[in-house]
Amino acid sequence: MFIYDICVIGGCGHVGLPLSIALAERGKKVIVYDINTESVNTVRQGNMPFHEKGAGEMLQKVLADSTLKLSDSPNVISDSEIVIMIIGTPVDEHLNPKFQVMIDSVNQCIPHFRNGQTLILRSTVYPGISERVNDWLREAGLAMNVCFCPERILEGEAMAELYSLPQIISSFTPEGLQKCRDLFGLLTDELVEVQPTEAELAKLFTNVWRYIKFAVANQFYMIANDYNLDFYNVHHAVTHQYDRAKDLPKAGFAAGPCLFKDAMQLGAFNNGNFYLGHSAMLVNEGLPNYVVQKLKAKYLLKNMTVGILGMAFKGNSDDIRESLSYKLHKILQVHAGKVLSEDPYVTDASLLPLAKVIEEADILIIATPHKQYRELNVPENKIIIDIWNVLGRGGLI
C-alpha cells in the first residue's frame, strides 16, 4: 500500500535530518521531504548542511544502503505509512504564538494525506495544537492517527541522544499510540506515554526550565560582578561536591531557536500570567547590554576596537539562529569605536580570521564557548571578557 515506511516533512533541518538518518539506520525506508531544494541536493550528495557530530558518516551509509531517500516534491507524502512533521509554532514580534504557520503547513499537506496514515508532530507546538490538527483532518474527511512525540535532543549530540534518551509519545487513538511504540522503540527501550496535551507541556516545561536556570546563573553573575567579585569563585564554592546545587549552570548567553520562544509560548498559554518566564527573558536578553554598559563604565569604549569571538548561539555549533552574539554586535556598533567578529564554525562573509581579530581588537569578548577557545593565545595587553569562563581564569568584567 505504501512505498515508504516514513516521510519526514522538513527533514533537512536540525531536528528532522538526524531523526531521518537514525530511523533509516534502523532499517526503515525513509523519505525526506523538504521545500529547500538546495538542502535536498546537499544531503542527497552525502553532505550534512549543518554541523552534527557523527551524522556525516551515518548519512553516507544510509544513502548507500538506499534506506534514506530525498525529495522536494510533496507527492511522496502520499506514498508513506507514517508522516513525521517537523513544523513548530514560532512567536511573532509581539511575543505571541503564530498559529498560521501550522495551519498553512497542514492545509498544504491535506491533499497528499491518505486514510490510514499516522501523522506524528515532532517540533514544539503551542498546547492544544495537536488536538486542533486532529480536528482539521477529521473535518477534511481523513481517518488518520494524530500523535505528538516531541524531540528533546541537544543540538550537536543528536546521533547519541536519539538512542539514549527516553522518548515521550502520545496519540489520540490506541492504534496511533502503538505505531509510536513500534517506531520509537527502534531507537530506545525507554518510552514515556502521556496524553497529547501533557506531551506538549512536557516539551515546553523542559525548555523553559533550562531557560530559567540560565537566567538564575546570569542574574547571580551580574550581582557578583557589580560588587567586583568573580562569579566563578562563588560558583565553585556553591557547586563543589554539593549535589543539591550541582545543576547551577555557568553564566553566558542563553539563546537559540527554542528556549526564549518556548518561554513566551508558555506565558501566552497561561494567559500572560508567567512572571517567572518573563523575568527570565529580561535577564537573559539583557545580558549583552549589561556587558556593554560595564565596559563603558570601565573603559573609553568609543575609542576602542572590540572583537567578538563566537557568533553561533551555542558552543561547537554553526547555528546562529537567535544568537545573542549578534545582539551584542548591534549594541557595540553604537557604543564602540569598531566591532570585529569571528567564528570557527559559522560561514559568514562579514566574519574575519581569528588571528586578525585578536591582532586588531583592544577588547576580546568570548561570546560562545567553542572548544577552540580553551587554548586561546592572547597577548597580555589585550582585555579579555570571558563570561563563560572558557579560559578558566574567571569571568569578572
The CATH number of the domain where 298 resides is what?
3.40.50.720
- For the sheet with 363-366, list strands across it: 338-342, 305-309, 363-366, 383-385
Residue keyed to cell 521545500: 35
379 shares a domain with 361: yes
240 and 357 co-located in one domain:
yes
Task: Please tell me whether residues 130 and 249 are part of one structural domain.
Answer: no
Residue 88 has pLDDT above 90, yes or no: no
pLDDT beyond 90 at 91? no
pLDDT bracket for residue 96 (50, 70, 90): confident
Q: In the prediction, which pLDDT does 301 show?
A: 97
Do 213 and 291 belong together in one domain?
yes
What would the mean pLDDT of 227-253 be, rounded to a whole number?
A: 97
Whether 39 is in a domain gets the answer yes
What residues make up the domain containing 155? 4-194
Same domain, 290 and 337: yes
Confidence of residue 260 (pLDDT cuts 50, 70, 90): very high
Q: Is residue 182 scored above 90 in pLDDT?
A: yes
Q: What is the pLDDT of residue 89?
A: 84
**Residues 313, 189: one domain?**
no
Same domain, 67 and 162: yes
Within 8 A by CB and 6+ apart from 271, the residues are: none
- Same domain? For 212 and 260 the reply is yes
For position 92, what pLDDT does the model report?
Answer: 86
Of 194, 225, 252, the last residue of a domain is 194
Question: Are residue 56 and residue 176 in the same domain, yes or no?
Answer: yes
Quote the number of domains for the chain.
2
Confidence of residue 396 (pLDDT cuts 50, 70, 90): very high
**pLDDT given for residue 281 in this prediction:** 96
Q: Is pLDDT above 90 for 94?
A: no
Quick one: pLDDT at residue 357? 97
Query: Does 1 have pLDDT greater than 90?
Result: no
Q: At how many degrees (to 10) do helices 324-335 and 275-298 cross?
A: 40
Residue 282 has pLDDT above 90, yes or no: yes
pLDDT at position 264 is 95
What is the average pLDDT value for the chain, to the nearest integer?
96
pLDDT for res 126:
93
pLDDT higher than 90, residue 321? yes
**Distance of alpha carbon 186 from alpha carbon 27, whole angstroms:** 9
Which contacts qualify for 278-284: CB closer than 8 Å, 24 or more apart? 279/215, 280/208, 280/211, 280/212, 280/214, 280/215, 281/211, 281/215, 283/215, 283/218, 283/219, 283/222, 284/211, 284/214, 284/215, 284/218, 284/253, 284/254, 284/255, 284/259, 284/260, 284/324
Percent of the chain at pLDDT above 90? Answer: 94
pLDDT of the residue at 95: 79
Using the predicted structure, report yes or no on whether residue 97 has a pLDDT greater than 90. Answer: no
pLDDT at residue 310 tops 90 = yes
Question: Do 183 and 263 share a domain, yes or no?
Answer: no
- Compute the C-alpha angle 124/129/134, nearest 5°: 120
User: Pick from 194, 211, 230: which residue ends a domain?
Assistant: 194
Same domain, 64 and 189: yes
DSSP strands (E only) in 188-343: 191-193, 305-309, 338-342
Does a structural domain hold residue 225?
A: yes
Quick one: pLDDT band at residue 197, thresholds 50, 70, 90? Answer: very high
